[in-house]
Structure 1
Amino acid sequence: MSVFLAIVFLSLNMGKSGGAIKPVVTFTPNWGNVLLGDDVILTCDVPSTVPEEPRTYHWYKDNQPIIGDQQRLFINKSSVQEDRGDYQCQTIGGDISDPVFLNVINSRVILQRPPSAIYEGDPLTLRCHHQRFFIAINTKFYKDDQEIKSSESDSTFHIPNIMMSQSGLYKCTKQIQSYDRIYMMERSDVSFISVKDNELPVIAAAAIGSLVVIVVFAVLIWKCKTRKRFSHQDPHQAIPTAETINKPPGNNTDPDLQDVYYTYLDISQLSKGKRIKHEDLTVTYATVNNVNI
């Protein structure tokens, strides 16, 4: 089954041009939204089962080519106007990746989440992030306006195995120290976390189930036909030999053709005696009684 799942996984990740596997754009740190002035590294990951050869990369932002021919693209002190958008990468002769959106926000506090889709059973980490120039304390996380975590120093909220029932509206708050040393509560924007069904196991299970049903159905049909054929066979019916089928009609004086003899076979099962062991031999135990025609 693992081989089948691997085939399904590879087929789902196949590109449209020539069956190449699509590269994937990842962020470091792994957040899909960052604050104005944050540093981000974009990496073009190319899945491969063979040792990597030197590659030349092409980068695109909002479907337009941008400067960069290395596997990593560095964004220093991100800008809302220049760096916010959809990013893709491509290798020479390979397929282009799916777009990944980098959202650059001008705010004091944001709720950060991974850029990729979230599936049931995956681990999920959210981060209540504030601008680097401020001191912040007392972080709180909310789901559907209900507080789910509070901490003086920990700015992250981790779910080891997220469930679809945990989809909802998430946000966070922090106490930010302003220039006059007064702490003010800052609230992030609301982010909708949608947990999707784990599609790959479902597809694989459905395909395997269908295959099993087809195989079982075919075996049952074969068994039924075999039983019906033997149950309707007359035990006194003459069994033609190969010479009977191939012998032409009429008087044939060809010396190469032997005379054909007919007999009736009365076959009944006997108890199994000592078996004959041979790789290419199937043994049937029966009595053979001659019946006069």
Structure 2
Amino acid sequence: MAGTVALVLWAQTLGLAGAQTTQLLVQPPWTPPVLWDRVTLTCQGSGTAAATTWHKDGQRWRLQGPDRFVVTESGTYQCDRPSTGLSPPVNVSNAWLVLQVPARALLEGDTVTLRCRGWQNKPVTSVSFYREEKQLQLFRDGTELSLSPLRLHHSGRYRCRGWVYSEVSGGWIEPESAPVTVTVHVPVANATISPGALAQPVRAGDPVTLRCSVQVGSAPVTFTWLRNGNEVARGPLLELGDVHVGHSGTYQCVATNQLGQDGHRVFRALSPELALTVTPRAHWDTVSPAVAAGVGGSLLFLVLLLGVIVGWHRWHRLAARKHQERAPPEPPPAPEEGEVLYSLVGSTRNAGGSPHATSPQVTYAELPGPHGRQQDPSDIYENVL
């Protein structure tokens, strides 16, 4: 295997990731199998072996039979299990010329040999190999083509042509094999989590989504998420939503590709650890933006309303004060009958006729009596004294 491909291979550390499917295994492990090799087909899937149903050439063939048998007729076979469904087809050939490829996952860097075989193991001469209609090599006596070390560009459709002696026709014939597909797989490697660094710490309520990917790896690739070493989810995305303190921990993803019919070549790549620390929010941080905006708007309205009220009161007091200053003084009340009106004269004229300050003088005014007569001054004095 190429040294540039780094991989982590575990046999039993973790269970197989992804959905299990029904597989039809071939022994001897060559594709396509040939009838004269006494091929054994084994059905693998969930459930009991007695629940296996066999199909031949697209038709139900054996009901509730055993999970394996030795093929005695050429044709296309499939098996079915109740929980995992129908297996991929396997064609058992009985042709004059067959090109075979190892029935396993072909990995980059492997040593792989293709072999061109005649019916019932009859000798084949002058064999030519073709890839996508292009002739690769011509052998006078050889019947095998080496693709070692295997590379991605070796993937494609191959066939062979050669001379085989036919007892039926009593002479040599030059048949051509059916095409066979060579698929070069790459084990998963360099699994990573993105984003690789999270804001430290993450606040409770923040949305967090993690993505797992691999630098190399042939499909199908499945992903498993671990938190503190325990499986929590499957799939390339881990959507935690609005995180809380319980999401804190160390996260890793495991990328897996299960290659080959036998399911024994399982490759896994483990990503570096990603620490996630979630801290609770403060009281005000827990308020949603909409609620916070509503509260802020209400407070602003109250402040404006209070300003209007205070301004109105000040304006009202100022207006009342100006009105009071501008209003004329109220006239003194008229004296009642019998009262004496006193007034102080604050100035007199001097000998030159000019006014000058003097001491106040009392001016007396006599008011009519109750019967319209004037009172005697002595009466006034009496009243005053």
TM-score normalized by the length of structure 2: 0.40
The question of 1:74 aligning with 2:70 is answered: yes
Is the CA contact 1:111–1:129 (under 8 Å) kept in the aligned structure 2?
A: yes
Q: Match of 2:150, SS?
A: coil
Alignment CA distance shift 1:119-1:131 (3 Å): same
Q: Which amino acid aligns with 1:11?
A: A
Q: Which amino acid aligns with 1:74?
A: V
Residue correspondence of structure 1 range 120-135 to structure 2 within 5 A = 120-132=108-120, 134-135=122-123
Pairwise CA distance, 1:177: 1.6
Is the CA contact 1:101–1:115 (under 8 Å) kept in the aligned structure 2?
A: no
Q: Match of 2:274, SS?
A: helix
| Structure 2 equivalent of residue 108 of structure 1 | 96
Unaligned 5+ segments in structure 1 are 16-21, 48-53, 223-293
C-alpha distance in 1, partners of 2:91/2:184? 20
Alignment CA distance shift 1:7-1:88 (3 Å): farther
Residue correspondence of structure 1 range 231-250 to structure 2 within 5 A = none
C-alpha distance in 1, partners of 2:165/2:152? 37
The question of 1:10 aligning with 2:16 is answered: yes
| Structure 2 equivalent of residue 270 of structure 1 | none
Pairwise CA distance, 1:108: 1.6
The question of 1:195 aligning with 2:195 is answered: no
| Structure 2 equivalent of residue 27 of structure 1 | 26
Pairwise CA distance, 1:28: 1.5
Task: Specify which of 28, 39, 54 is matched with residue 60 of structure 1.
Answer: 54
Task: Specify which of 61, 76, 91 is matched with residue 84 of structure 1.
Answer: 76
Q: Which amino acid aligns with 1:150?
A: F
Is the CA contact 1:58–1:65 (under 8 Å) kept in the aligned structure 2?
A: no
Unaligned 5+ segments in structure 2 are 1-6, 193-212, 215-252, 255-268, 280-385
Is the CA contact 2:8–2:189 (under 8 Å) kept in the aligned structure 1?
A: no
Alignment CA distance shift 1:122-1:174 (3 Å): same
Alignment CA distance shift 1:34-1:171 (3 Å): same
C-alpha distance in 2, partners of 1:29/1:134? 19
Is the CA contact 2:126–2:162 (under 8 Å) kept in the aligned structure 1?
A: yes
Alignment CA distance shift 1:114-1:108 (3 Å): same
Pairwise CA distance, 1:214: 2.8
Q: Which amino acid aligns with 1:88?
A: C
Considering only aligned residues, what root-mean-square deviation do their CA atoms show, in Å? 4.2
Alignment CA distance shift 1:74-1:168 (3 Å): same
CA deviation map 1:152-192 (0-9, x unaligned)? 2x533344542111113322122212346543332223334
Q: Which amino acid aligns with 1:29?
A: P
C-alpha distance in 2, partners of 1:66/1:105? 20
Alignment CA distance shift 1:171-1:57 (3 Å): same
Q: Match of 2:29, SS?
A: coil
Is the CA contact 1:25–1:89 (under 8 Å) kept in the aligned structure 2?
A: no
CA deviation map 1:85-115 (0-9, x unaligned)? 4x1254xxx8436613122456321212345
Is the CA contact 1:32–1:101 (under 8 Å) kept in the aligned structure 2?
A: no
C-alpha distance in 1, partners of 2:96/2:271? 55
The question of 1:176 aligning with 2:236 is answered: no
The question of 1:214 aligning with 2:202 is answered: no
Alignment CA distance shift 1:116-1:2 (3 Å): closer
Q: Match of 2:120, SS?
A: coil
Is the CA contact 1:41–1:75 (under 8 Å) kept in the aligned structure 2?
A: yes
Q: Match of 2:153, SS?
A: helix
Aligned residue pair count: 196
Pairwise CA distance, 1:41: 1.0
Pairwise CA distance, 1:197: 3.5
Pairwise CA distance, 1:132: 1.4
Pairwise CA distance, 1:210: 9.0
Larger Rg: 2
The question of 1:136 aligning with 2:124 is answered: yes
Q: Match of 1:189, SS?
A: coil
